[in-house]
Structures are given as structure tokens and as C-alpha cells.
Structure 1
Amino acid sequence: MGLPTPTPGQILQLRARMPAAFGITAQQRALRWAMGLGALAWFGFLFWWFNITPLRLWNGLSGLGTILVLMIPPSPGALWVDILKGIAESVAMAFLGTFIAAVIAVPLGFLGAGNVVVNALAHFSIRRVFDGFRGVDQLIWALAYVRAVGLGPLAGVLAIATADIAVLAKLYAEAIENAERRQAEGIEAAGGGLLMRTRFGLLPQVLPVMLAQALYFMESNTRSASVLGIVGAGGIGLAIAERIKVRAWDEVAFIIILMLLTVAAIDFVSARIRRRLIGGREAVPAR
């Protein structure tokens, strides 16, 4: 026996009670069309503003194809020792800058954690300071430090450290806030103060995550250090910029391949260390 067919009056009552079950309304459909047309208009304005035309894209791709042809075969040229030295300098800059940032970010992370600094005004102020520093890119810091301390890897190390301190501090603070509370509460119940609760209740839980995030930043900063050299902050970036100026594309390709191999090796080693530290769970922070 089939279900009874609802009457038109019952359908109207059901439509009034549950309009979403009968599909979108005319107003919702019009709103969606308006939003879609607005998005298309916005993208069209951006394309016009940036003068993005099919002709420019085609010419750019044609020029890129010519450069790729000139890159084959890659060649180290006569200064391959300088290339290896520049790559080693970039890796060293990334390591030292990340190490300095990670060490300074640990106490800042505890200060920015809401379960350590419970004062709402202090917590809000510290987090906004982190946001302010995170808003400045490494390249801007590198330009500033090149003017302050001169050309060379010192400016690159300081730029990496300054840019990463606030980012790591924010990530550390979030890890501390997500730590298990019962361990810290047990130490507090046994008579431990804030320092003891932080040292034995929170730090052992978040230290593996902190180390894993620092290793991830080490890998990322190896790529960043190669760019900082373009503005005179040391590393392989200066060698790349010089070879691009003289259109030595085969040497540029050789440097890029070495950089890719270096980053891949660092990524392989750091991934194994991260898995060992955090028990197979990857902690990949967002920048």
C-alpha cells in the first residue's frame, strides 16, 4: 500500500515550514548569481589593472621556453667551487638563523600561551606583537639588515631569525595551549608553582613538537636563504643574480639543480627526525 499523496495545501504548509527541503528560493538564486557576477567583475578588474593579456602571457611563455632551452645542458662553469661555497653558506645561514629564532621563541611561546599567562590583556598584547612581526617578510628584514650591518651572511642570518621568531613563538604558544592539562594540574596539586608546572607539566609535552617545527623551518629557510643573497645578504642568491645578469643560463640551471638536491636531502633527514620526535605524526605549520 503506497503512501498517501499530500494535498496542495499540505505542500504549501511544508514549504513554509521547511523551505530548504524544496530547493533554493528565487532570492537565494538571485543572490548567488549576483555574487558570481561580482567575482567575475573583480577578477576582470584585476586582469585589467595588472595588464594581463593573452599576448603578454604568450610572449612570456615563449621567452621562458627560450630560457629553458638555453639551460640545457646544465654546466657549473669555471667557478663551481664558488657555487658549492655559496650553497654551503645558504645552508649555514638557514641553520644559524633558525636556531637563534627557535631558542628565542621558546620563552616567547610560553608568554603567548593563554594557559601560562592568564591575564587577558597581557595575552592579547603579546599575540598582537607576534602578528606585527609576522607581517614583515624576510626580504624586507634582509634589506634593512644589509643597510645596518653591511653585505654578507650576517644580514641573512639576522633576517631569517627576526622573521621566524614571531612565527615560531605563535606556533609554540598554540602547542602549549593544546597540551594536556591534567599533567600540569597534578604538579600544581602537589605544591608546584608556575615555574615547576611549566617545566615539568608543559615543556615535556610540547618539546618534541617544538623541535619538529624548528626542523621544518630549517628546511624552509634553506630555500629562503638562497633568495636573500640577491639583495646582498649572503648565500647562493648573489651567484644566481650575477649569472642571470650575464645570461649564463646553463650555470643558473646547474645551481638550481644543486639547490633542489640540497633541499631534498635536508627534507629527507628532517622528516625522519620529525617522525622520530613526534611518533610518526607530522607537524607541518602554516606560514
Structure 2
Amino acid sequence: MSSPTPPMRQRYPEHFQRFDRNRFTMAAIGLGLFALLIYAMGRLGFFDGTLLSGLGRLFEIVSLMLPPDPGSWAHVKTYSISLLETVAIALLGTLSAAVVALPVALLAARNVTAQRVVRFLSRRSLDTIRSVDILVWALIWINVVGLGPFAGALAIMTADIGSFGKLFSEAIEAADRKPVEGITSTGGSHILGIRFGILPEVFPVLMSQILYYFESNTRSASIIGIVGAGGIGLHLAEAIRTLELQQTSFIVLMILVAVAAIDFLSSKLRFAMIGRRGGGAV
């Protein structure tokens, strides 16, 4: 006859202790971080009444922005053309960044590049590019190529190379090694293993990231347009500067509609790729 199972408290006594050193340490760290948060908020003026007094002004500005009004049909045409230019800037910059970042990501991936020096230089290069904000890249490219949408596309491309390189390399490193091992075991080269073993597996993930960044870059292209990088951002900055708040809300509404449409199309494309991949697997 088997012996009775000991009670849960006897089997795992550490989980029933009310107090131990690890729990005390975690609680002390949590309280310390919370105290630091409160102190920082106080130093930045969160508790001096400025925020509460500014909420009234915020509601006043919002009321002045309603209803959205472009002013004239000529403005609608101008804003529409500029919005299409903004979308084009985002699309061109995103695709260009993806094309440039993929080879660098392969060099930075552990399961592709064996040389540590090459991986180190690739990763640090991506870190350097990613550490500079897109608005700073826009200002740099404006001074290089001048005002206009070309500078905006270059700014988005440059900023996204660092982000894409990191995301792509992590997706490549997480890929299953068995397809590559199967290709190399039959006499295929390392390059063929990457082409037919890794890239087909990570392609849906890469495309999902590219589609998301295209949506995000549509908003970013609107912002960098304020500094002269083309697109609808210039009209948005002008409407805000001249206190044409109804035109401002109309432009913001146009940007929201464009981003929502891009998000809808991106979702359809992602589901189509997932369905095609699943059908091919069967």
C-alpha cells in the first residue's frame, strides 16, 4: 500500500512562507521605484495644479476645433494631394529601409554570421542609427538635399534601418534550425540554407513588421513635414500657427482616416499571408 501524499504545505513550504528575504527585497525595490516615481512627478510639476488648471484651456481649444472645416474646396484639394504625398513618403521610406536593413540583419544574426567581429560591428551600427530620432534625421537630410518630400523619405528610411535591422535579426535568430540543417546535410551551401531554410519561415514576420511600420511612418511623415520634409505636416503647422483650429482638426481627421485605412489594408494583407502559408503547409 502506497504512503499517503504529504500535504501541499509540507511539499512546497517556500510558497507558504509569509515572509522571506526574496519577497522583502522585491517589495523594497517596488516601494523604492514607486517613491522615485512620485518624487520625479513632483519635480516635474505634476502636483502644483498646472495640469488641472490647463484642462479647462484644453477643453476650450477642443471646442474651438469643432466642427472640422477645411475652409474651401480648394483647401480640400490641396490637403488631399499633400496627404497622398505623405503616404508616398512613408511607403517609399519604409520599403527602402526594409531592403537595406535585411542584409545588415543577416550579418547581425548569430545563426547566419559566425564571425563575432562582423556581428558586433553590424549590431553597433544599427544601435547608432537607431539612437537618433527621426526628427533629427529629417533636419539632417533637409540640410543635405534641401526641403521637400525626398528629405522626408530619406529621414524615414534612415531611422527605420536601425529598427528593422534589430527586429529582422531577432526574427532570424528565432527561426527553426532544422530546415537549414536539412539543406546543408544534402549538400546545399550555407547561402542556400539561408535562402530556402530561414527566409521563407521568417518572411511573414518580416512583412508584418514592415506593414506596421508603414502605418506608423504615415504618422511620422506628418510630423517631419512640419520641419519642411514635405507632406501634409506643413499645412498642419501653418494651420496651428495661424490659429485656424477648425482647419487643424480637419487635417488631423484626414490623417486619422488615412492611418485607419492603412491599418485595415495591412490587416487584410497579414491575414492573407498567414492563410496562404497555412494552406501551403497542408
TM-score of Structure 1 vs Structure 2, range by shorter chain: 0.7 to 0.9
Matched, 1:52 2:46: yes
**Match of 1:47, as an amino acid?**
M
SS in 2 for 1:114: coil
Write out per-residue CA displacement over residues 62-101 of structure 1, whole angstroms, 9 at most, x where no aligned residue.
Answer: 1110111001111011322221112111100000000100
Structure 1: 5+ residue stretches without partners: 1-13, 282-287
Q: Which residue of 1 aligns with 2:177?
A: 181
Write out per-residue CA displacement over residues 6-46 of structure 1, whole angstroms, 9 at most, x where no aligned residue.
Answer: xxxxxxxx99x956523114x67765664455334322331
Write out aligned runs for 1:55-66 (5 A): 55-66=49-60
Write out aligned runs for 1:1-287 (5 A): 18=13, 21-25=16-20, 31=25, 34-35=28-29, 37-78=31-72, 79-279=75-275
Give the C-alpha shift of residue 210 in structure 1: 1.8
Q: Which residue of 2 aligns with 1:10?
A: none
Taking the aligned partners of 1:19 and 1:108, their CA distance within structure 2 comes to: 48
Write out per-residue CA displacement over residues 150-200 of structure 1, whole angstroms, 9 at most, x where no aligned residue.
Answer: 111111101100011121122111222222222211221222212222222
Taking the aligned partners of 2:175 and 2:14, their CA distance within structure 1 comes to: 44
Contact 1:112/1:123, CA 8 A, preserved across alignment: yes
SS in 2 for 1:77: coil
**Match of 1:130, as an amino acid?**
L
Aligned residues: 266
**Match of 1:83, as an amino acid?**
Y
Taking the aligned partners of 2:247 and 2:66, their CA distance within structure 1 comes to: 10
Percent of matched pairs sharing the same residue: 44
Give the C-alpha shift of residue 129 in structure 1: 1.9
Taking the aligned partners of 2:34 and 2:189, their CA distance within structure 1 comes to: 59
What's the TM-score once normalised by structure 1's chain length? 0.85
What's the TM-score once normalised by structure 2's chain length? 0.86
Write out per-residue CA displacement over residues 119-168 of structure 1, whole angstroms, 9 at most, x where no aligned residue.
Answer: 23322332222222111111111111112211111111011000111211
Give the C-alpha shift of residue 55 in structure 1: 2.1
Contact 1:208/1:278, CA 8 A, preserved across alignment: yes
Q: Which residue of 2 aligns with 1:3?
A: none
Contact 1:209/1:277, CA 8 A, preserved across alignment: no
**Match of 1:22, as an amino acid?**
Q
Structure 2: 5+ residue stretches without partners: 1-8, 278-282
Taking the aligned partners of 2:30 and 2:104, their CA distance within structure 1 comes to: 44
